[in-house]
Each structure stands twice: as structure tokens, then as C-alpha cells.
Amino acid sequence: MSHSSNSTDEILRKRGYRLTPQRHMILSVIQEANEHLSIEQIAERVQQINPYVSLSTVYRTLDLLKNLELIREGHIPGEQAHYEAADGQAHHHLICRRCRQTIHLDTALLGNLDKQLQEQYHFHHLALDLVATGYCSACWQAIQQEEQGPENLAEPPARQSQ
């Protein structure tokens, strides 16, 4: 078992749970992914390893892992939830509304906002995960061209000298 599995096993045991093979598979799929995964993507990857793991097991396990703060659930407006491994630090994303490019932002970007929120609103064990949406440069340029319409994309007529 890897170091990550040992620490996960310890976290689960302290809270009264076991690291079952299904939980280990689901967590490993999320940890090994280089992207944010939907429930369907997680289930598909887990079922490639073990086709007998049901979708309901995936749902229940994701809820447990989320409650134990081993994974993060992210919501992009208008889309289903996506999951990624939690590393214990604030986590911020910049997401293009059109192509869905996701950029992980520097945790120092918001300074000590989490501490300020704790002090001002008396929230404790605060998790700060910012999702900002907009358009990347390529998509913004494409939108601008689409709004101009095809008639405006042609070269302007040459001026005639008088």
C-alpha cells in the first residue's frame, strides 16, 4: 500500500470506516487523474478495473470521501459536479465558459481571505475553493468574430481617391 493509501486508511479508521477495495479504487482513480472527473468518468474508470462496482457504490463512496475531505467536489455553472483529490489547501479555478479550459490559480492570489472570513464571520475549519468563469483569449476572439457576422469579416472596400 502506498503512503497515500496508508494516510487515507488512517483517516478512515479514525472516523470509523475501512479502506475497502472499492473505496481504494475510486480514490486512486481520482488521485491519478490529470483532470477533474465527473461521476460517470469515475464510474467508467473504476468499472474498467472491476466491472462489479456499481454506480450506487461510486455515489456513496464519493459522498463519504467528500465528507472526510479526501476529495473536492466542484461545480461549474450549468454542468454536473466534478471531483478531484483534496490536498488540504485553498483551491481556486479559472474556467472558460466556452471551451471549459481550467486553470488552477495560485493559492496566494486571495491572500489571507480565509483567515479574514474566519475572524469576521466566526467560521471555523474554513475551506476556500473559488471558481471564477469567463472566456479564454481564443474563445473571446471567436465570440467577437461571431458577433460581427460574416458580412463584417470581409476586407473594407478600398477608398477611391478624388
Residues 6+ apart with CB under 8 A from 133: 76, 77, 94, 95, 96, 97
Give ∠ CA 36-38-43 in degrees, rounded to 5.
Answer: 120
Q: 97 among the known binding-site residues?
A: no
Q: 99 among the known binding-site residues?
A: yes
Q: 115 among the known binding-site residues?
A: no
Q: 127 among the known binding-site residues?
A: no
In sequence order, the β-bridge partners of residue 131 are: 93
The values of phi and psi at residue 48, to 5°, are: -70, -30
Known binding-site residues equal 96, 99, 136, 139
Known binding residues for Zn(2+): 96, 99, 136, 139
